[in-house]
Amino acid sequence: MIKNFSPILFLLLLAASAFAQTPSQKILRWGADAEGGAPYIFQDPVNPSRVIGFEVDLVEALAAEMNRQAEFVQNQWDGLIPGLQRGNYDIVVNGLEITEDRKAEIDFSEPYYITYEQLTVRKNTFDITSLADCKGKIVGTLKFSLAHRILEAEGGIEVRSYEGQINAYEDLANGRLDAVLMDYPIALYYGRPNPNLKFSGTPISQMAYGIGIRKEDKQLLNEINVALEKLAQSGKLREIFERWALWTPPMAEFLGDREPSTASPVSYEAYLKAMGLERTWKEKFFQYAGYLPLLAQGALKTLELSVLAMMMAVALGLLIALMRLYTPPPFSQLALAFVEIMRGTPLLIQLYFIYYGLPNIGIKLDPFPAALLGLGLNYAAYEAENYRAGILSIPRSQMEAALALGMTRLQSLRHIIVPQAMRLVLPPVTNDFISLLKDSSLVSIITMVELTKAYSQLASTYYDYFGIGLLAAAMYFLIGLPFVRLARFAENYFSFDKRLPAPAKVAEAAT
């Protein structure tokens, strides 16, 4: 009997021993913006629920070299450095150029990619081959990029900055721009495939992408540099760049590896095939159906955030309105100041302040609570004004009559004034909820991936702002419609002119 069980017992002991000896892998959390697009990081055209790109491959190779597990954190591109400083992730890998002003804020690893700026013009343009030729012309580029600084430093050029590269190249093809200046990887993936555009002139300037790390993380910086060196020595770094068609002469010079490339750029070719593929209506239907899980996930986040923020705004707004109307100074003045400040400053700035500013005084909120607080406080100011208007519309004689009957002011408010005011303000409160639903799209700047952000990521990957936009718009409509109908039902139910008083009902029944 013991003999029969011994192999099983041996396997169990072996498995337990192996499990006990497996070291727990550290997590390497890296921040990037998937909306930035190819070839850095973008949604996989085959499986939109996952992200791909040469920086995804790079981080996974780095993490493997460091015996860590890579974990991606979505963050708006222009908020990547503030997000790093507040500890949302360990490193930033997203085409971050090493510049002096950025080095004053964070440390950079050794460069992992060397590239340059590339001019792109229309096919029939022959008089723009350099920056000097751009003077007096309209040139598009990305906002806050090195190319933007180069164009401004050149002078005499009308610079138009864009949030995303797709719109810039579309405007160039449509004749709204004379040229576009962007990093070579972007130009390769978004400019060259367009049959109406072409590269022009020689490489402009030179830049290095580095991995951003907090200044106090010296040990992590050292680990990253060692891992990068190993990837370069082993040839893995070159393999990644060749796969994405990014092995260029400056990169070969930088790594001292001048062997001609013979590898096929399989990832680049797969990307071009996916982007240029002509699809039947049936294939398009299934393609759009494949987007639904990602959009539905964003819609649920939007709905959850909007409902909770509106509940907070309604409760806080009522409290502020009562403070302003029925409390003595300084409480009434504080309520007034709150309303004026929240209404007089943009919601976007308030979100930036709550998420990136408060950590400076020791208050660090996760993205969802920060978004909830920002939306709730902002809309509480508007709800307070709705309630104030509703309360003031109730004749003063009702309060006086309640007091004359022996009720306290608090009892009068609770049983007489506030219930009537609540009924009157239902329509504007419903309107505010619909507005809040749409304003929730702003929270994408603090790493929240809600419906609009999910739409932006998909649209920037597939160049399809129309079809995916219709899907996203339909989801917003379906989210808001039940609340609109519910509010309309409540308005009818509580409306005086549509409800007969009890004596009238009795009289009506008697007749």
Confidence at 19, pLDDT banded by 50, 70, 90:
very low
Closest CA to 139 of 166, 126, 123, 157: 157
Confidence at 131, pLDDT banded by 50, 70, 90:
very high
Confidence at 134, pLDDT banded by 50, 70, 90:
very high
Q: What's the whole-number mean pLDDT along residues 147-152? A: 91
Q: For position 204, what pLDDT does the model report? A: 93
What's the pLDDT tens digit per position in 298-340? 889 899 999 999 999 999 999 999 999 989 889 999 999 999 9
Q: Highest mean pLDDT: which of 90-94, 143-147, 162-166?
A: 90-94
Q: What's the whole-number mean pLDDT along residues 405-428? A: 88
Closest CA to 319 of 378, 388, 402, 373: 388
Mean of the per-residue pLDDT values of the chain: 86
Which parts of 240-320 are beta strand (E)?
Answer: none
- Yes or no: say if 399 and 412 are a contact pair by the CB < 8 Å rule: yes
pLDDT of 281 higher than 80? no
pLDDT of 1 higher than 50? no
Q: For position 29, what pLDDT does the model report? A: 94
Q: What's the whole-number mean pLDDT along residues 42-71? A: 90
Q: For position 219, what pLDDT does the model report? A: 94
Q: For position 23, what pLDDT does the model report? A: 53
Q: What's the whole-number mean pLDDT along residues 471-486? A: 86
pLDDT of 259 higher than 50? yes
Side-chain half-sphere of 459: how many Cα atoms within 13 Å?
Answer: 20
pLDDT of 502 higher than 60? no
Q: For position 3, what pLDDT does the model report? A: 47
Q: What's the whole-number mean pLDDT along residues 335-363? A: 89
The percent of residues in the chain predicted with pLDDT above 70, rounded, is: 91
Q: What's the whole-number mean pLDDT along residues 227-256? A: 92
Q: For position 2, what pLDDT does the model report? A: 42
Provide, for the chain, the percentages of residues in helix, strand and coil under a 3-state DSSP scheme, each rounded to the nearest 5.
60, 15, 25
Which helix (H) or strand (E) element contains residue 371? helix 367-392
pLDDT of 399 higher than 60? yes
pLDDT of 45 higher than 80? no
Q: How many residues would you count in the chain?
A: 511
Q: For position 7, what pLDDT does the model report? A: 52
Q: Which residue has the higher pLDDT, 454 or 337?
A: 337
Distance CA 96, CA 207 (A): 10
Task: Label each residue of 468-503 as H, E or C.
Answer: HHHHHHHHHHHHHHHHHHHHHHHHHHHCHHHCCCHH
- Yes or no: say if 91 and 209 are a contact pair by the CB < 8 Å rule: no
Q: What's the whole-number mean pLDDT along residues 135-142? A: 93
The percent of residues in the chain predicted with pLDDT above 90, rounded, is: 45
What's the pLDDT tens digit per position in 194-230? 889 999 999 999 999 999 999 999 999 999 999 999 9
Distance CA 505, CA 101 (A): 76
Distance CA 173, CA 147 (A): 19
Least confident of 18-22, 173-177, 224-228, 349-353: 18-22
What's the pLDDT tens digit per position in 93-123? 999 989 888 999 999 999 999 999 999 999 9
Q: What's the whole-number mean pLDDT along residues 37-64? A: 88
- Yes or no: say if 432 and 64 are a contact pair by the CB < 8 Å rule: no
pLDDT of 352 higher than 70? yes
Residue corresponding to tokens 């952000």? 453
Q: What is the DSSP letter of 256?
A: T
Q: For position 83, what pLDDT does the model report? A: 87
How many Å from the N-terminal Cα to the C-terminal Cα in the chain? 94
pTM above 0.85, yes or no: no
Q: What's the whole-number mean pLDDT along residues 280-293? A: 78
